[in-house]
């Protein structure tokens, strides 16, 4: 069971080598502040782990998996030096890869960290986080082993997970469906089938929400807030059922107030007609829905995406 923690930054895709076709998506979790860790120290830990992930290749994505780092302080010394106290700490950074939906652990490792800081213990923790070696082969081996376990999990459970996503979509819970689908590693044998399901589910999600977007756009247009109206209309996907109505609304906005903004939108919509670009846009947007799903369904976490 996960303790109350804050998911901070770094929902990321791990590419474990340039030649590796399979990828997994993970997030990074930071402990809540305590006597040793304040917000600054926690951010330092996350930032360092982001660099570790970067050594394996990183891209933003939604995920059901998170890295959970916890710090255990082994030595805590106070050196009184004139006007400023100096804290020296030695500790262990424990890292686990955990699945949010089940709490299951897919791997764990630990490494020693140490540092010193002035005035409070948190500055020493921040310095200790900075001592983490991003090139530590133990960390890279941990990530590679964890990746293999996750890939095996999805390979073995692909059919049941796809069925779960379809059931959620049938119940109009498109956010949950997309969250399940977006968590599948890239490069699996059934990747084409998964992406097809993502595109189909995301289109249903768009159609459900496009009417709400049109209402907002009409409200902005009524108050002559043309910039806001254009921004709302620009978010309506060309494959949405209400796209033609969105185009008609765009035509109501006078040329003198649309200017470059409207032209940029038209250019963007033309680019979206390209089938490959449109498919990529749908996949990325579907992953954004997945991120929002985890924010909503896990209130014990504060999720901040880069």
Has this prediction a pTM greater than 0.85? no
Q: Give the residues across from 88 on adjacent strands.
A: 77, 116
Q: Where are the beta strands (DSSP E) in 82-178?
A: 84-99, 105-118
Phi and psi at residue 122, to the nearest 5°: -60, -35
Q: Does the CA dihedral 278-283-288-290 come out positive or negative?
A: positive
Task: Give the separation between CA 188 and CA 278, rounded to whole angstroms.
Answer: 22
32 DSSP assignment: P
pLDDT values of the chain reduced to their tens digit, one per residue, 306 residues: 444 444 443 344 444 433 344 677 778 887 777 777 778 888 888 888 888 877 765 333 567 888 889 888 887 777 776 677 788 888 888 999 888 888 889 889 998 888 888 877 778 888 888 888 888 888 888 888 888 888 899 999 999 999 999 999 999 899 999 988 988 888 888 888 999 999 889 888 888 888 888 888 888 888 878 888 888 888 887 878 888 888 888 877 766 565 656 566 766 666 666 666 667 777 778 888 888 887 788 767 655 555
Q: Give the residues across from 60 on adjacent strands.
A: 12
Q: Give the residues across from 108 on adjacent strands.
A: 96
Whether the CB-CB separation of 66 and 26 falls below 8 Å is answered with yes
Phi and psi at residue 171, to the nearest 5°: -95, 15
Q: Pull the structure tokens for residue 86.
A: 């100096």
**Among 209, 201, 226, 221, residue whose Cα is nearest residue 282:** 201
Buried b (16+ CB within 10 A) or exposed e, 123-151: bbbbbbbeebeeeeeebbebbeebbeebb
């Amino acid at each position: 069971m996960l303790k109350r923690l804050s998911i901070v930054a770094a929902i990321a895709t791990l590419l474990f080598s340039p030649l590796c076709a399979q990828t997994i998506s993970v997030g990074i979790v930071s402990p809540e502040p305590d006597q040793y860790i304040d917000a600054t120290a926690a951010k330092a830990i996350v930032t360092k782990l982001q660099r570790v992930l970067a050594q394996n290749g990183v891209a933003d994505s939604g995920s059901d998996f998170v890295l959970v780092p916890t710090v255990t302080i082994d030595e805590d010394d106070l050196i009184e030096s004139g006007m400023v106290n100096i804290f020296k700490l030695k500790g262990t950074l424990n890292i686990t890869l955990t699945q949010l939906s089940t709490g299951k652990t897919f791997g764990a490792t630990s490494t020693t960290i140490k540092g010193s800081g002035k005035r409070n213990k948190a500055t020493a923790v921040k310095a200790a986080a900075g001592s983490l070696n991003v090139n530590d082969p133990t960390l890279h081996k941990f990530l590679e082993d964890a990746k293999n376990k996750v890939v095996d999990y999805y390979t073995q459970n692909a059919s049941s997970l796809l069925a779960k996503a379809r059931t959620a979509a049938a119940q109009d819970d498109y956010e949950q469906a997309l969250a399940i689908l977006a968590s599948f590693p890239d490069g699996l044998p059934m990747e084409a089938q998964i992406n097809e399901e993502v595109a189909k589910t995301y289109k249903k999600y768009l159609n459900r929400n496009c009417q709400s977007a049109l209402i907002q756009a009409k409200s902005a247009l009524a108050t002559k807030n043309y910039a806001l109206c254009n921004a709302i209309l620009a978010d309506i996907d060309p494959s949405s059922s209400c796209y033609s109505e969105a185009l008609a609304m765009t035509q109501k906005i006078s040329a003198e107030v649309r200017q470059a903004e409207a032209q940029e939108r038209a250019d963007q919509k033309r680019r979206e007609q390209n089938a490959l670009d449109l498919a990529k846009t749908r996949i990325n947007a579907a992953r954004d829905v997945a991120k929002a799903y985890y924010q909503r369904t896990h209130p014990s976490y504060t999720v901040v995406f880069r």
